[in-house]
Amino acid sequence: MRSHPDPAPEVPAKTLWDLAQDERCRIESFNSSLDEVYRVRLMELGFHPGEIVTCMYTPKLGAPRLYRVHNTVYSLDDDVAGMILISKAA
């Protein structure tokens, strides 16, 4: 008889780059390997934990995607958007 259940498998964190077009999310945090300069600049633009972001456009072939924060739209490539950890928007 087991005394403890098997631990749940670790679910990989979802990032802003994983967001589909017209999907909304809440920013949870930044990947710890994101350089501080990028982290500060993203927060200056409005990409900070707790903020709601909408993916406006996902072009083909890995081109930068468009994201709306408040009433402003920004273009982020996969290197940067992949460092922003998200959860579903309530």
Instruction: Give the pLDDT confidence score for residue 12 in this predicted structure.
Output: 62
**How many other C-beta atoms lie within 10 A of the C-beta of residue 43?**
14
Quick one: pLDDT at residue 58? 95
Radius of gyration (Cα) for the chain, nearest Å?
15
- Its sign, for the CA torsion 35, 68, 49, 60, is negative
Break the chain into its structural domains and give their ranges.
24-88
Tell whether the model's pLDDT for residue 9 goes beyond 90: no
Q: Tell me what pLDDT residue 62 has.
A: 82
If phi > 0 it is left, if psi is from -120 to 50 it is alpha, else beta; for residue 70 that is left
The two structure tokens encoding residue 67: 């994201």
Q: For residue range 48-76, what is the model confidence (pLDDT) as tens digits?
A: 999 999 999 999 888 999 999 999 999 99
Report, at the CATH architecture level, how domain 24-88 is classified. Answer: Roll (2.30)
Place of tokens 């924060």: 69
